[in-house]
Structure 1
Amino acid sequence: MRIATWNINGVKARMEGLLTWLRETEPDVVVLQEIKSVTEAFPADRIADAGYQCVVHGQKGFNGVALLSRLPIEDVVTGLPGEPDTGQARYIEALVTGDAGICRVGGLYLPNGNPIGTEKFSYKLAWMAAFESYVRGRLTLEEPLVLAGDYNVIPMPADARRPEAWRNDALFQPESRSAFRRLIGLGLMDGIRACHPGPGAYTFWDYQAGAWQKDDGIRIDHLLLSPQAADRLRAAGIDRFTRGWEKPSDHVPAWVELAA
């Protein structure tokens, strides 16, 4: 079972690239962030033609998350229970069943938090606290669980080409990184790091200053696995080739593959 995450940065603007990627890589489950579409306007028909059913938690103009699956899904959750602002569409979840068994997949778009010292940073930390509480409860189910998405956190200096450039950014603040470590401390595994411990495993390159051409990237898109999912981890990767496509998102897909 291949589970992928991609901050698509506008599903309508990136539709052709999304369909090409689905056709070329054939993931079983995909969580999308920043679809920037209300639920009713999401292009589910075109994605269905590619073989995927969709569940969507949309928002007009901003945010928005979706889950695409080639496998049967049930027990859908939209919105993070306990989140500080229910008006922002940032979380979606479903139980997926395939040849590899069941897996609960959560897709999240964590708040950016900039600028530091404003209510936006406070909201980021409050959302992370609510997410931590929710995940703690989910882990008591003792089932395979993959929590994938744009966390808007650079966990370690090795997750940035130039960590010093992010010193004053909400993505790299001690509070943000500490909250991420608390998630890991619940018993989760960082799927990408487990398979790619070295430098250069980036998932985001800014549109400005030739960041892509200079490989001036950061890793902020993560797939965290419960112990039951970690036991089945077979491979993980980052489809960085999509960043070189015409009209790309500034993020690229990342994925894990679970064995039966």
Structure 2
Amino acid sequence: MKIASWNVNSLNVRLPHLEQWLKDFGPDIVGIQETKLEDHKFPDSALIAAGYRSVFAGQKTYNGVALLSREPAQDVQIGIPGFEDEQKRVIAGTFGQLRVINLYVVNGQDVGTDKYAYKLRWLEAVHAWIADELQRYPKLIVMGDFNIAPDERDVNDPLVWNENHILTSTAERGALNKLLQLGLHDAFRLHSDEAGVFSWWDYRAAGFRRNLGLRIDLTLVSEALKASAVASGIDREPRTWERPSDHAPAWVQLA
């Protein structure tokens, strides 16, 4: 079973890319972020034609998340329970014994801003919810655009992306590590210690060509899934296409 996460940065623009990638890569479950579509505009019928059922939560212009799957999702949850938030950033579903949580984590703007404080509050709420989910669903995957690069291997320049910089600050990495301490594992790091493998590149300054990126798109697997996570990686191919998303899909394969 192949499970993937992709920030498509506008599903309206990137639908042809998504359809092509679904055909080429053949994932079983996909979490997408930044759909930037209101629900009545979600291309459900096009994705059914591609062989995927969808559950989604969107809003105009910003945010928006969805789960695509060959089999329909059950027990769908939209938003973080008990956390009031108008932004559509969270969706979860169950597939047999597997629970999948798809997150579009807050960017945070800059360290010390109101948006940064909101990001840390949001991550605290996510942590409490996932702790409960793990009790109910031992076989759990948490994936998405985390807007946090886990460590120095995951940034193009550690001197720039340091403990005081957004996406790599001490508090953000601390929140991610707190999630991992619940018993989650970064699937990419189960198979590779390599530095310089990224999932996001800025459109500016030839960021992709120069590999000036970050690894901020993650697939986290629970302890009960660790042994069955037989492969993982980043699929750079869609980032080479015309008018691409600035993100590439991150994926994990379960035996």
Do Structure 1 and Structure 2 share a fold, with TM-score over 0.5?
yes
Other-structure match for 1:73:
73
Aligned amino acid, residue 92 of structure 1: I
Structure 1, unaligned runs of 5 or more: none
CA distance in 2, matches of 1:92, 1:182: 21
- The sequence identity of aligned pairs, in percent, is 41
What is the SS of the residue equivalent to 2:159? helix
Offset of residue 106 of structure 1: 0.6
Other-structure match for 1:130:
125
Offset of residue 72 of structure 1: 3.4
CA distance in 2, matches of 1:202, 1:252: 8
CA distance in 1, matches of 2:254, 2:148: 24
CA distance in 2, matches of 1:239, 1:223: 13
Aligned amino acid, residue 28 of structure 2: D
| Native 8 Å contact 2:54 2:72 kept in 1 | no
CA distance in 1, matches of 2:252, 2:193: 14
Offset of residue 142 of structure 1: 4.7
| Native 8 Å contact 1:161 1:217 kept in 2 | yes
Aligned amino acid, residue 218 of structure 1: L
| Native 8 Å contact 2:55 2:73 kept in 1 | no
Tell me the TM-score normalised to structure 2 length. Answer: 0.97
Aligned mate of 1:213, from 198, 209, 217: 209
CA distance in 1, matches of 2:98, 2:196: 29
What do residues 133-160 of structure 1 show as CA deviations (whole Å, max 9, x unaligned)?
0111111125210001000001101101
User: Runs of 4 or more off by more than 4 Å in structure 1?
Assistant: none
Other-structure match for 2:151:
156
What do residues 19-47 of structure 1 show as CA deviations (whole Å, max 9, x unaligned)?
10000010000000000001111111111
CA distance in 2, matches of 1:59, 1:231: 37
Offset of residue 231 of structure 1: 2.5
CA distance in 2, matches of 1:256, 1:135: 19
What do residues 42-77 of structure 1 show as CA deviations (whole Å, max 9, x unaligned)?
111111100000000111110000000002321111
CA distance in 1, matches of 2:192, 2:82: 33
| Native 8 Å contact 2:99 2:137 kept in 1 | no
- Once the two structures are superposed, the pairs formed by residues 159-170 of structure 1 within 5 Å of their partners are 159-167=154-162, 168-170=164-166
What is the SS of the residue equivalent to 2:173? helix
Offset of residue 164 of structure 1: 2.0
CA distance in 2, matches of 1:234, 1:187: 18
Aligned mate of 2:230, from 224, 234, 254: 234
Structure 2, unaligned runs of 5 or more: none
CA distance in 1, matches of 2:6, 2:82: 24
- Once the two structures are superposed, the pairs formed by residues 1-260 of structure 1 within 5 Å of their partners are 1-83=1-83, 85-97=84-96, 102-167=97-162, 168-259=164-255
CA distance in 2, matches of 1:136, 1:6: 24
Tell me the TM-score normalised to structure 1 length. Answer: 0.95
What is the alpha-carbon root mean square deviation over aligned residues?
Answer: 1.1
Count of equivalent residues: 254
Offset of residue 169 of structure 1: 2.9
| Native 8 Å contact 2:148 2:168 kept in 1 | yes
CA distance in 1, matches of 2:40, 2:108: 28
Aligned amino acid, residue 117 of structure 2: S
